[in-house]
Structure 1
Amino acid sequence: MVGRQDGLLWYKDSGQHTNGEFSMAVVQANSLLEDQSQVESGPLSLLESGPYGTFIGIYDGHGGPETSRYINDHLFHHLKRFTSEQQSMSADVIRKAFQATEEGFFSLVTKQWPMKPQIAAVGSCCLVGVICGGMLYIANVGDSRVVLGRLVKATGEALAVQLSSEHNAGIKSVRQELQSLHPDDSQIVVLKHNVWRVKGLIQVLIV
């Protein structure tokens, strides 16, 4: 796919992949583009006999581009490694890839902290879709949302189908989960200026 820029709009033309055609568009909200996206198609494993499929990742950076770029550079490689170990694609493989990527970024932050302390304030939401063996796997971290557009042939209408739930303190079930995980912390979620925030600071819950 060829990347193009039109003002603050970045987009990639449609490209043919294992499971169909894909195109991407990003509207740049800041002077520095903090977001990343990728489509990988073909072997989802380091083994030649491993499963084939399509990996789609969208990473909504916050506070800088470092985290989203790190995810873009490492998450898919971890996914291929764990798929090779288990010789199949599964929700557990995706979960392990997320965990390995998070641990790797934490290690990077620890190393860069003395010279670049602001890196500890940089983060990213992460949306992933994997199509493999006729299955669509969806994973998310943060308060971005995966939505599937479905065409109704009879009417020509496009329906939006929500496929993931945000991790945001504004959602009651998320607040309840936080409170159950931290029963001794009465300030784990705080209503501040009519907005629920974790520790009174952020809305996003990274789990």
Structure 2
Amino acid sequence: MKKVIKRISLIVLLLVVVLAIAFFFWARSAYEPTKEALTYMENSNENELTFGSTDADKGIIFYQGGKVEEEAYAYLAQELAEKGYFVVIPRLTLNLAILDGDKATGIIDRYSTIDNWYIGGHSLGGAVASSFAVEHPDRIQGLFFLAAYPIEDMSHLEMPTLTIYGEEDGVATLSDQKEKESLLSSQAVIHIIEGGNHANYGMYGEQKGDTPGSLTSEQQIDETVQTISTWIEKEQK
């Protein structure tokens, strides 16, 4: 009997090791930024990418989409910085926000001169950002989703939220997103980008399962940036 138990334990251990290795290599196959995206890079270090000035009175923390390298969002971040925000994109383990959901804490502490922080993200990044916002409502002024929705029910909260959908999103489809609207806070604003898809919030090329959309990534990001900026400034009044 002991031999059988030992053999089963060994098999289970081997399966765990195999699955861990498979997960590691799956996560390592990330979507890389395009050459154009890299032209918008500003400051970077081992912890994060930063855009804009720390003299800004409002900061934005952005969590990347699952398996998308953070540099792919350089244009989005740079354009937000042009609107007067200090923007931080943390480097996440294996490009997965779910593994580093509390990274925003260190950012807020590190840049303590900024009083008003907003957090958001793309796809998986947006979902994980929602968990941080729910757990730290005293540190966040608002939350935004790009092709994403909350992990948990926020309908009882008054936290300002902005949700941006792409009309032609093939990954987080419009119908799926609308089904999740009941999870949003009581202060929710929703914006639909006509012709927008899933991948074009960043610059990393096509994404598996997505549709081409009828906008360029630059066009979709420009509308996204304007929508976020308008929402923030309205909330600050």
Query: When you count helix as a share of all residues, which structure comes out higher?
Result: 2
Compute the TM-score of the two structures, normalised by the length of structure 1. 0.31
Which has the bigger relative contact order, CA under 8 A and spacing at least 6? 2
Query: When you count strand as a share of all residues, which structure comes out higher?
Result: 1
Compute the TM-score of the two structures, normalised by the length of structure 2. 0.28
